[in-house]
Amino acid sequence: MKIKLIILNLFLLIFSFNISKAAQNDVLITALAENFSTAEEYEEIFDGLGIISTIVDYDANFINYLNENIDTIQTIFFIGPTLDLSDEVLTKIATFLEDDGNLYLYDDLWYEFLQSEWFFEDYLPVNWVTCDVPTFRTFSGVDNTWMDGYDFGFATDRLASTLMPFGPGMEVVLEDDVYCGCVAAASDRPEYHIVVTEFDLENTDDDLYPNNRQDLFRKIFEYFDVMTSSGVCDDDCMDDSAVPVKSAIMSNYPNPFNSTTVIEISNSKQISRGNIRIYSLSGSLVREITPNESGKAYWDGMNQAGENVPSGIYFAKYADDNNSFSLKMTLIK
């Protein structure tokens, strides 16, 4: 009898732990049935990050599912292009945000939310700007935001965005390389977290740039307080004592440069030895160099064959078993 009670208690303990973990990390992906293939791409990315997610048909049972599972949902991903956002849905989302929920809007859905004046003013101050709509393929994190130092790209061209923050409360975190509009904006308010984008970030090219789509969504989940740099949060991971401290950073000087630039990894004694790879704007590997014992490397603007490369934007990435950093450099001749 005692053995049965011990087994039962162990089962209940494991069950309670799993419920707690789901409550901390569950992500609701909602889309129309015809967009489930896109939703499944997000689900695949989240699985690779160790994030639990559920896909729900927006028209069929979004509200009912949200009402029944609100205590186990921390983040909602709305997958567009269009959804019928009723006042009931907007009010529910506003309450969800006020209760520390996270919201991700993809593919013009931000425009749907803008149709409600009160939601626009209080939660989602983004709008559009007029531009020539050039094409772009690569995009980067904006300096001094939580995407600072990250660079991504698509395999094919995209039309530049006209999405822009409108007033206080939102900021650009990802911008295209033609600087017309932005790729993604996010709330800079402490009371709730929103990421809004016009672009299919699930199609970020894993081979084109130093950072891939899992890096991209890992950073988004870090911003959502669902992950830290070391993995998925447990119940206490966002305590002040548990917030990870970046042990090393990479920088270069001068930047822009016209002959040689010094790439430096600070606190280099805290990292294992790795190589720095220089990439062109198209994502091609240009040069591979090894930092010295003080964490410094010197790039003279030449490729691996000893040939001068043309003026332009280049990216340096450092990677070892424990760290991954990248930065943008501008060569002017």
Instruction: Quick: pLDDT tens for 128-156.
Output: 776 777 888 999 998 888 998 899 999 99
User: What confidence tens digit (pLDDT) does each residue in 235-277 have?
Assistant: 445 444 333 334 457 788 888 888 888 888 776 555 556 788 8
Spell out a b/e string for 189-225, using b for 16 or more CB atoms within 10 Å of the CB, else e: eeebbbbbbbbebbebbeebbbbbbebbbbbbbebbb
Extents of the domains making up the chain:
23-242, 250-331
The crossing angle, in degrees rounded to 10, of helices 213-223 and 36-49 is 80
Give the span between the Cα atoms of 151 and 253, in whole angstroms: 19
Mean pLDDT score across all residues of the chain: 78
Flag whether pLDDT at 219 surpasses 70. yes
Give the span between the Cα atoms of 189 and 304, in whole angstroms: 45
What class has domain 23-242?
Answer: alpha beta
Name the fold adopted by 250-331.
Answer: Immunoglobulin-like (2.60.40)
Q: What is the mean pLDDT of residues 45-62?
A: 88
Spell out a b/e string for 64-100, using b for 16 or more CB atoms within 10 Å of the CB, else e: ebbeeeeebbbbbbbbbeebebeeebbebbbebbeee
User: What confidence tens digit (pLDDT) does each residue in 78-100 have?
Assistant: 988 777 778 888 888 888 988 88
